Amino acid sequence: MHPYELSSALYIGGQWLGTKGRDALNVLDPATGRPIGNVPVATTEDLDRALEAAQRGFRSWSKVAPDERAAVLNRTAALIRERADHLAALATREQGKPLAEAKAEALASAGLLEFHAGEAVRIYGRVLPRPGGTRSLVLQQPVGPVAAFCAWNFPILNPIRKLSPAIAAGCPIILKPSEETPATAVAVMRCFEDAGLPGDVAQLVFGVPDDISRRLLASPVTRKLSFTGSVAVGKHLLRLAADTVMKTTMELGGHSPVLVFDDCDVDTTLDLLVAHKFRNAGQVCIAPTRFHVQQGIYERFVQGFAERARNLQVGNGFEERTRMGPMANPRRPEAIGTLVDDAVDAGARLVTGGQRGSRPGFFFEPTVLADVPLLAKAMNEEPFGPMALIRPFATEQEAIEEANRLPYGLAAFCFTENGRRQNRLADDLEAGMVAINTVRLLWGDAPFGGVKDSGLGSEDGPEGIAAHTITKAVHIA
């Protein structure tokens, strides 16, 4: 048996529940395509029990002192660090990313828990001045039970991004991670359990996504929806959430533009962008994707990008030399292949890649396309894969207009040494996050979220905890 042969369970009311008496779904190894475990499908009765537990949890956890909530998060962070190698191996086994990327994800998750622990004791209200002995208070109180749904691309970080701010704010949570990476989510939940989090505060369920979302969001128990995933599914969940007018945080898809000006350091820019584009095989909502490059350096940029992409070692995430692993499921290589063919048919120049390769598993070559027409599907739909789309531009205004052309607005990247231009770009780009001469957007103390079709609200930072509170005004005469 492989040391990471996988089995998973539901966690409801402090109890672990396996596949006995329940349907089960297979979990596939993306490096081979073979089954490596299973995950139980929650029944309607399981979901109702989870809602009952969350309701009990709200009555108790919302009254727990902030420093006690912070202590649980800090203990969980310590366990995540202690078990980082094990968590990383599970994530690589289920999702495919290189082991080093998975371990970095675990350590970043621990840092986020520690930040939220610090913020748990800083959920402040305010006192408003009033004449004649009247006092007005503004209170921030936990919103109530949270239904949270997250994607498979970051199987350690995504669950913690949902659990951590809810617990810090005093809210119980029912979490549905991806059925494609369940064992990693189970291992994360065990860290919370072992850190002393009461069983009614956090529930873990798997199953048929539409069945689960309809049941949880229709319940009057649920007072907040938090979702990470595609725009289409996010809009569907928003419609369900509207029936009970619940609070929402939606981290939806992106199609990040990259504006590269001719005054940048081209080689340094390429080194940063190529590594970031093919991180997690491009399966990242903030991945740089639409590369708009100023004409003076365009061909140099295309060739340099392609050369670096060709030199990336693609393989099993457990192999030390691997810099890009397989895609996470059999749907993704097929989707990327279709987009590549469409772009080439539309007139794009295939510079490198474009093939699935001969090995088993869900692999696709790092792919670079130049001169990509705007009518190509990949220029209008989020590729979510190892596919770089490069186009030239002449003027700054042309680049900004092209960057803002789509309904997406999650992240944007810019590379220029002109300080005034940096300020203009920061103002004019329609994105929730803008990175200038860097690719890093994830910081525990900074908000993470998009605008337009890319979402509502923010995760991380103080804003992530504020999204789990309601504002109450109290006037005392």
Active site residues: 251, 285
From the list 54, 85, 320, 88, the residue with the least C-alpha distance to 181 is: 88
Angle at 279 between CA 28 and CA 282, to 5 degrees: 70
The answer to whether the beta carbons of residues 292 and 393 sit under 8 Å apart is yes
Q: How far apart are CA 451 and CA 407, in angstroms?
A: 9
The answer to whether the beta carbons of residues 254 and 411 sit under 8 Å apart is yes
Q: Look up residue 26 and give its DSSP letter.
A: E
Contacts of 68 (CB under 8 A, 6+ apart): none
CA distances 209 to 149, 341, 455, Å, are 9, 31, 20
DSSP 248-310: EEEE----EEEEE-TTS-HHHHHHHHHHHHTGGGG--TT-EEEEEEEGGGHHHHHHHHHHHHH
The number of angstroms, rounded, from the C-alpha of 285 to the middle of its chain's C-alpha atoms is 7
H helix intervals, 293-395: 298-310, 331-346
Q: What strands, in cross-sheet order, belong to the sheet with 135-142?
A: 126-128, 135-142, 469-476
- The structure tokens 């309607």 sit at 44
From the list 168, 142, 137, the residue with the least C-alpha distance to 58 is: 142
Q: How far apart are CA 293 and CA 302, in angstroms?
A: 9
Adjacent-strand bridge partners of 369: 350, 389
The bridge status of strand 455-456 relative to strand 247-251 is antiparallel
